[in-house]
Chains A and B, each alone.
Chain A
């Protein structure tokens, strides 16, 4: 039942023929898990909470950073350093006390996803990395939950509803994560784009919960913010694709991110290193010249850490540069220096250094 206060709050929505009191009750009885409370998650959450979805889970392990604020509209300057999930909860409860909010301020993983998904009717994928997207896909298929998906690249966005009433899934479109080549540099995004894409996503969530309209299932909608072009591509279900269990490892990109003295550093593992050394990537050895073993590669630069500042011009800015030392410590310092003081954005640290490669 809806209370008088609820009926009044939602009155402009209730008077719609397709909604009415019955539809509003559907929303109230629905539960949605929003994974990622960032650029996409913020607008999705604001509008789902505004519309009166009864129970909303917010999952995000990250803290608010000032560089998030231009697009992550739930957060204020004073919130920097605090948990996204917990601050989002506080703001959203102030927005609409009739909604129940549940928070998960930790990372989605192959081991926790299924248990969590069981508790919700629908999953919203507002994450920012492939590993999470594939975890979401597989857990949603196994738990039979629809996924409202959104993803961004610079001025372009993608929206789709996957696994809806046995429809195509993300893996029907992209069966496996992209190859190991490090290509997930922070691409940059205009603040409004996640807002636009996030609202397309929220619209799909509401339509699914209300049982109205045409759902973006079996379709991938593309939006280009620069040209206004909106295209809808048809995805067919791959009936040969069977997901029977979660995979043990979703970190297939071989890339992870760590923070070192407030600078985000991208790291690659030894396996990717061994593969990349055969390619055209540039390698920067910051060990002393006497340290052994020496590495031979076409694109090798040997600049000991203490000479780095004087020889910075030798390091290209337009190619992927993998920085390494013996155990990964000096290379982090080198990346920190080059990122913070010389504006490099193309650097990758070899995690745990050369010794991790020699052991394997």
Chain B
């Protein structure tokens, strides 16, 4: 299935994209996250939280072909 992936802030800079579509066989979010990190190894050292379909989620959440997975880092600036 194809999953839409969104990156915000410094994550978008590291991946050089803010949106992309990924083909995956992973059902669980935690497996899908590993795939994304293998694709963009620099993200392994960065802090972020993942939202699925606009709700922050844990690794147990199951993905479907319509899922939108957003990677969001904390911002400190003010």
Max chain B Cβ within 10 angstroms of own Cβ: one of A154, A194, A232: A154
Q: Does A178 contact B (CB under 8 A)?
A: yes
List chain B residues, Cβ under 8 A from A129: 76
Q: Please name all residues of chain A whose beta carbon is closer than 8 Å to the beta carbon of B43 when the two chains form the complex.
A: none
Alpha-carbon separation in the docked complex, A40 to B77 (Å): 9
Most buried by A among B18, B55, B76: B76
Residue on A nearest B70 in the bound complex, by CB: A233
A120 on interface, CB distance cutoff 8 Å: no
Residue from A178, A187, A234 within 8 A of B56 (CB atoms)? A234
A183 touches B51 (CB 8 A): no
Check A130–B78 contact: CB distance below 8 A: no
Specify which of B9, B56, B70 is in contact with A173 (CB 8 Å cutoff).
B56
Interface 9-mer from A106-114, A145-153, A289-297, A342-350: A145-153
A156 touching B76, Cβ below 8 Å: no
Contact, CB under 8 Å: A232 / B8: no
Task: From B49, B56, B78, give the contact of A126 (CB < 8 A).
Answer: B78
Complexed CA–CA distance, A127 and B74 (Å): 13
1/0 contact string of B53-74 vs chain A (CB within 8 Å): 0111000000000000010111
Query: In the complex, which residues of chain B have a beta carbon less than 8 angstroms from the beta carbon of A156?
Result: 8-9, 75
Q: Does B10 count as interface, using CB distance less than 8 angstroms?
A: yes
Contact A233 to B55, CB < 8 A, known contacts A153-B9, A173-B49, A178-B47: yes
Asked whether any CB of chain A lies closer than 8 Å to the CB of B16, the reply is: no
Given the contacts A174-B49, A233-B70, A151 and B76 also touching, CB distance less than 8 Å: yes
**Which residues does chain A contribute within 8 Å of B8, judged by CB atoms?**
156, 222
Judged by a CB distance under 8 angstroms, whether B45 is at the interface is: yes
- In the complex, per-residue mask of A29-41: 1 if CB is within 8 Å of any chain B CB, else 0: 0000000101111
A217 touches B (CB below 8 Å)? no
**Minimum CB–CB distance for A163 against chain B, Å:** 16
Range of interface residues on B (Cβ < 8 Å): 20 to 34
The reply to whether B55 and A152 contact each other, CB–CB distance below 8 Å, is no
Cβ-based interface call for A310 (8 A): no
For A38, list chain B residues within 8 Å (CB): 78
A14 surroundings in chain B (CB, below 8 A):
none
A38's closest neighbor in chain B, by CB? B78
Contact B76 A184 (CB under 8 A): yes
Given known pairs A173-B49, A181-B45, the reply for A233 and B76 (CB within 8 Å) is no
Of the candidates B47, B51, B54, B72, the one whose C-beta lies within 8 Å of that of A179 is B47
Give the contacts of A214-256 with B (CB-CB under 8 A).
220, 222, 227, 231-236
A272 to B8, CA, bound (A): 26
CA of A178 to CA of B51, assembled, Å: 18
In the complex, which residues of chain B have a beta carbon less than 8 angstroms from the beta carbon of A126? 78
In this complex, which of A153, A183, A184 has the most chain B Cβ atoms within 10 angstroms of its Cβ?
A: A153
A178 touches B77 (CB 8 A): no
Given contacts A153-B9, A234-B55, A236-B56, contact A128 B77 (CB under 8 A): yes
Instruction: Provide the bound-state CA to CA distance between A133 and B46, in Å.
Output: 18
A301 within 8 A of B: no
Instruction: Judge whether A25 is part of the interface by a CB distance below 8 angstroms.
Output: no
Q: Is A270 an interface residue (CB 8 A)?
A: no
Q: Are B47 and A222 in contact (CB under 8 A)?
A: no
Q: Are A189 and B77 in contact (CB under 8 A)?
A: yes
Contact call A130/B74, Cβ cutoff below 8 A: yes
- Give the contacting residue for A40; candidates B9, B55, B56, B78; CB below 8 A: B78
Q: Sort A-B residue pairs by CB-CB distance and give the 9 closest, nearest first.
A: A151-B75, A152-B77, A178-B47, A128-B78, A234-B55, A153-B75, A153-B9, A40-B78, A174-B74
Offer 12 A-B interface pairs, CB within 8 angstroms, sorted by A: A40-B78, A127-B78, A151-B74, A151-B75, A152-B75, A153-B73, A174-B74, A178-B74, A184-B76, A189-B77, A233-B72, A236-B55
Could you list 4 further interchain pairs (A-B, Cβ under 8 angstroms) beyond the known A125-B78, A158-B75, A189-B77? Answer: A128-B76, A153-B77, A154-B9, A234-B55
Residues of A whose CB lies within 8 Å of any CB of B are: 36, 38-41, 125-130, 133, 150-154, 156-158, 173-174, 177-179, 181, 183-184, 187, 189, 194, 220, 222, 227, 231-236
